[in-house]
């Protein structure tokens, strides 16, 4: 019998990872409204924006305005993703609580995603770490394509561990490492293997997992992580998201589906599921199309149908 954690911390990535894949422009005021609503659900971590070049991700060109416009809820950490020193400086200027730096485990995806070799990305990460260190701003290091690459296929576990080791040599160190399943290529056995190796190699490092549901294995992969004792996960309300540089990649795992499953298993999140569903409906109205959330369609298990 698996020994599941009593509590899990969820980082909501819908406002950034979710919206960046939408082709229709979501106005600044709507982004602000969505982030403010999410902060009222009990979520403690929200990835609000990314500070990237507007040509790379046009949807995020209003990042500074969004951050300036949100109402900072007490106890909520608002984070941004940054690719380089310029992005880090913008994140510091915006007063973010935390930053995510990122690179891919595979060379091909890294070159496609940030137009750099992995070695170059590691150099850029040290510049970013220095800027954040001076600002006393914590950061999370995200390793994309940790469970497979759409261009190269399987990524050797040793390669993932090598990138993690290099990131943990940054000064200052990241507060956690996130392993990302960027295109939904993970399966529970692979998750068990990679997480197990990571925990053996880096027993004192906080690990977070970021899954996509591209091939329907998202929550099964969460379960594999839970069985290894992982308590940090990323998810996106409504199942918004994907990856602009990963062909065919659909959305991240859905926050309300994840919360519903965890609560049914007796694992606490501190999140109000009904309020979260209201946020998902709001997001759906903003993007103008149906989102893949299951619980948004069916309702939580606790919502019973009247019997006549």
| Cα–Cα distance measured from residue 101 to residue 104, given in angstroms and rounded to the nearest whole number | 11
Mapped onto helix, strand or coil, the DSSP state of residue 250 is coil
| Cα–Cα distance measured from residue 238 to residue 220, given in angstroms and rounded to the nearest whole number | 18
Mapped onto helix, strand or coil, the DSSP state of residue 242 is coil
Name the pairing type of β-strands 98-104 and 139-144.
parallel
| Cα–Cα distance measured from residue 81 to residue 93, given in angstroms and rounded to the nearest whole number | 14
CB of 128 within 8 A of CB of 166? Answer: no
DSSP 182: T
CA count, 13 A, side-chain hemisphere, 119: 0
Give yes or no: 149 in active site.
no
Name the pairing type of β-strands 77-82 and 176-180.
unpaired
Dihedral sign for Cα atoms in the order 125, 130, 131, 137:
positive
Q: Which is nearest to 79 in space by CA: 170, 162, 9, 182?
A: 9
Beta strands in the chain (DSSP E): 9-12, 45-50, 77-82, 98-104, 139-144, 176-180, 207-210, 232-235
Mapped onto helix, strand or coil, the DSSP state of residue 254 is strand
Beta bridge partners of 10: 233
Q: Which of 103, 167, 243, 279 is the catalytic position?
A: 243
CA 125 to chain centre: 18
> Which of the residues are catalytic?
243
């Amino acid at each position: 019998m698996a020994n599941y954690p009593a509590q899990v911390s969820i980082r909501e990535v819908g406002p950034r990872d979710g919206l960046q894949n939408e082709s229709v422009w979501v106005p600044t005021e709507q982004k602000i409204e969505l982030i403010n609503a999410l902060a009222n659900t009990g979520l403690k971590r929200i990835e609000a924006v990314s500070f990237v070049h507007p040509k790379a991700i046009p949807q995020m060109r209003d990042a500074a305005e969004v951050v300036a416009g949100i109402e900072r809820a007490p106890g909520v950490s608002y984070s941004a993703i940054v690719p380089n020193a310029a992005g880090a400086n913008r994140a510091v200027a915006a007063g973010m609580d935390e930053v995510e730096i990122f690179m891919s485990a595979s060379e091909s995806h890294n070159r496609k995603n940030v137009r750099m070799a992995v070695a170059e990305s590691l150099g850029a990460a040290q510049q970013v770490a220095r800027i954040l260190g001076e600002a006393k701003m914590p950061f999370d290091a995200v390793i994309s394509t940790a469970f497979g690459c759409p261009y190269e296929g399987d990524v050797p576990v040793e390669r993932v561990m090598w990138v993690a080791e290099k990131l943990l040599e940054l000064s200052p160190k990241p507060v956690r490492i996130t392993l990302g399943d960027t295109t939904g290529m993970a399966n529970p056995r692979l998750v068990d293997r990679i997480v197990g190796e990571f925990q053996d190699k880096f027993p004192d490092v906080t690990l977070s997992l970021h899954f996509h549901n591209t091939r329907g294995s998202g929550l099964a992969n969460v379960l594999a992580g839970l069985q290894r004792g992982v308590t940090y996960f990323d998810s996106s309300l409504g199942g918004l998201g994907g990856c602009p540089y990963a062909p065919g990649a659909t959305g991240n795992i859905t926050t309300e589906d994840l919360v519903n499953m965890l609560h049914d298993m007796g694992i606490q999140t501190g999140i109000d599921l009904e309020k979260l569903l209201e946020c998902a409906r709001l997001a759906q109205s903003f993007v103008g199309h149906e989102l893949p959330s299951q619980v948004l369609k069916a309702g939580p298990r606790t919502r019973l149908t009247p019997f006549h």
